[in-house]
Structure 1
Amino acid sequence: MANTTKDAAGRLVLDGWVQELAPGEVFVFGSNGAGFHGGGAARIAFDRFGAVWGQGHGLQGRSYAIDTMTDAATMARDIAGLLAFAREHSELTFLVIELGCGIGPYQPADVAPHFADAGANVALPPSFAELLG
């Protein structure tokens, strides 16, 4: 798990920007519902980690798309789906970036609470981990 550290609370936290993935790591990125991965982290997921053009939700190669552009309810549903998927796949580590906070319309304080029940195999960006305490 080259991309993570643990914080004082024992939570898995991203250590810098994700440039590459170690075996068993999955890049979790913000997408639009149509899966047009033209910019930001979505483009990185498409170029480097197997995101599929036209697929705006779920596992794709070594990446996992969360629709952050349709509306907050869709984003919340996708995050809940990710957390359920992560619970079923403890052999994987999910590297969550600041979803929806770059090109998307949200701030970390809007998104972090959705990850309050994230399991031990979900690494959060430092801003989310700090907000969750």
Structure 2
Amino acid sequence: MVQYHTDHTLPADSEIFVFGSNLKGIHTAGAALLARQQFGAEPGIGMGPTGRSYAIPTETGSFKPRSLPEIEKSVNDFIEYAGKNPAKKFFVTRVGCGLAGYENHQILPMFRNCPQNCSLPKEWREVFEDMA
């Protein structure tokens, strides 16, 4: 069963913070800044695990939104990583729905196959239940 959390809350100390990044790993705004300041996201790493976080690139290196198919590939990479690390818990933010400018309904279907060790934003719950 998928777990949910309130958006703009912080994960437990044991959870990995999953955030939207840019390909250059310039973590200076939004959830990326929080990931750098509080969860050890390293500058220059815009994709994959970094510190106690996981970066999903939703913007190019020049801060333009990546295409939905490009983001979906990165989300699938994350889902594969989470599945291979069942002992870890992942706290997924509303990736792509902030600075990248996408709407919840455009991004959240990409996360429908998340393993049970992922917690998703409550804002996505109703749409997920409608998809079932």
TM-score by length of 2: 0.87
Q: How many residues of Structure 1 are paired with residues of Structure 2 in the alignment?
A: 123
Moved more, 78-87 or 121-130: 121-130
Structure 2 stretches lacking a partner, 5+ long: 60-65
Using the alignment, how far apart are the partners of 1:121 and 1:29 within structure 2?
Answer: 16
Question: What secondary structure is seen at the aligned counterpart in 2 of 1:113?
Answer: helix
Please show how residues 9-48 of structure 1 align to structure 2 within 5 Å: 10-23=1-14, 25-48=15-38
The aligned residue for residue 114 of structure 1 is 110
Identity of aligned residues (%): 32
Q: Deviations over 1:93-132 (max 9, x none)?
A: 1111111111112000000100111111011101222211
Question: What secondary structure is seen at the aligned counterpart in 2 of 1:124?
Answer: strand
The RMSD of aligned alpha carbons is 1.3
Structure 2 residue identity aligned to 1:15 = T
Higher relative contact order (CA 8 A, sep 6+): 2
Q: Deviations over 1:17-58 (max 9, x none)?
A: 3335322x1000000111110100000000010101111100
Paired residues of 2:7 and 2:123 also in contact (CA < 8 A): no
TM-score by length of 1: 0.87
Structure 1 stretches lacking a partner, 5+ long: 1-9
